[in-house]
Amino acid sequence: MSGLPERVRTRGRVARMTVSGPGADALVGVNGVSVRFGDMPALERVDLSVSRGEIVTVIGPNGAGKSTLLRVALGLQKPDSGTVARQPRLRIGYMPQRIAVDDTLPLTVRRFLSLGGRVAKGRRREVLDELGVSYLLDQPFQRVSGGEMQRVLLARAILRAPDLLVLDEPAQNLDVGGQSAMYELIGSLRDRLGCGVLMVSHDLHLVMAAADCVVCLNHHVCCTGHPHDVREHPEYLALFPDEEPAALGVYTHHHDHVHTTKGGVAPLPADENRTADHG
């Protein structure tokens, strides 16, 4: 990943100084936001903030309003009440869940990436190389498989040299090895780009290694904090009654190594946990 540039800091500093009040360091701040779809409350008085260099992960069951919260933070969804503050001239790299392009559009992966904006020559191949999918560059976008799609979408977000990365289920369609590799990659991207990361995930255990802050969402914020603390929180345990992640029914292979990492109830340091993920 050595090809990723150090984030130019000047702009961030200047922008930061223009923000005042509490949370002045936040790239994006969601304050007391509620969203309703008809009679259905999607979000109720939700607070969230992401600072530069911080990884914030929103977890929660299906239909908990995770994607709606991302859309609010991105400015795609107007809240019914509450406020959203973004730093002026904030550059956002957004990775949607997936993109379906009509077969009639002759679009290569290269061209798809170029739609995000101009970049230096050779830069697109470089980024795809780092993600291990540079062979896709001249392939039709519609032929890209689910796992490759995640990497191509992430590449487009990275190419914007973002202040803030917003990732909607970045590890879906990946096998377990690919999932932990993806979260590790996101961690190293944060270090290299110096950006903030806001992402949505199903599974606390897999994101543990990468997240600084976990927001457990079920329309309202159930609990928030460091992943290890959240895992012990009564509201989290109530939301995921069987704390065994295999019970989520998604990550079947995850079961094995969770038993080894979960051996002690005492939380493991992030580094050890990451090693265990590989084991």
Partner 1 sequence: MDDFLIRAALAGIGVALVSGPLGAFIVWRRMAFFGETLAHSALLGVALGLVLGTNLSLAIVAVCILFAILMVLLQRQNYLAGDTLLGILAHSSLSLGLVTVALIGTLRIDLMSLLFGDVLAVSVSDIIWIWSGGAVALAILVAIRRPLLALTVHEDLARVEGVPVAAVQFGFMLLIALVIAVALKIVGVLLITSLLIIPAAAARRVAATPEAMAVFASLFGVAAVVGGLWGSWTWDTPTGPSIVLAAMAFFLAGLVLPRRGI
- Name the residues that contact partner 1, by CB under 8 A: 71, 74-76, 92, 94, 96, 99, 101-102, 104-108, 111-112, 115-117, 140, 156, 160, 166
Asked if 128 contacts 3 with a C-beta cutoff of 8 angstroms, the reply is no
Rounded distance, CA 237 to CA 200, Å?
19
Q: Which of residues 93 and 227 has its CB atom nearest to partner 1 in the complex?
A: 93
Comparing CB distances to partner 1, the nearer of 156 and 254 is: 156
Q: 204 and 59 in contact (C-beta within 8 Å)?
A: yes
- Nearest CB to partner 1, comparing residues 34 and 108: 108
CB of 103 to partner 1, least distance (A): 8
Residue 76 CB, shortest distance to partner 1, in Å, is 5
Residue closer to partner 1 by CB (options 110, 226) is: 110
Angle of helix 176-193 relative to helix 146-159, nearest 10 degrees, comes to 0
Helix (H) or strand (E) holding 83: strand 81-86
Own/partner pairs for 128-132, CB < 8 Å, 24+ apart?
128/152, 128/155, 129/3, 130/1, 130/3, 130/4, 131/155, 131/185
Report, in Å, the least distance between residue 15 CB and partner 1.
Answer: 16
**Minimum distance, C-beta of residue 72 to partner 1, in the bound complex (Å):** 12
Cβ closest to partner 1, residue 152 vs residue 210: 152
Instruction: Please tell me the distance from the alpha carbon of residue 215 to that of residue 206, in angstroms, as a whole number.
Output: 15
- Give least dist CB 50 to partner 1, A: 15
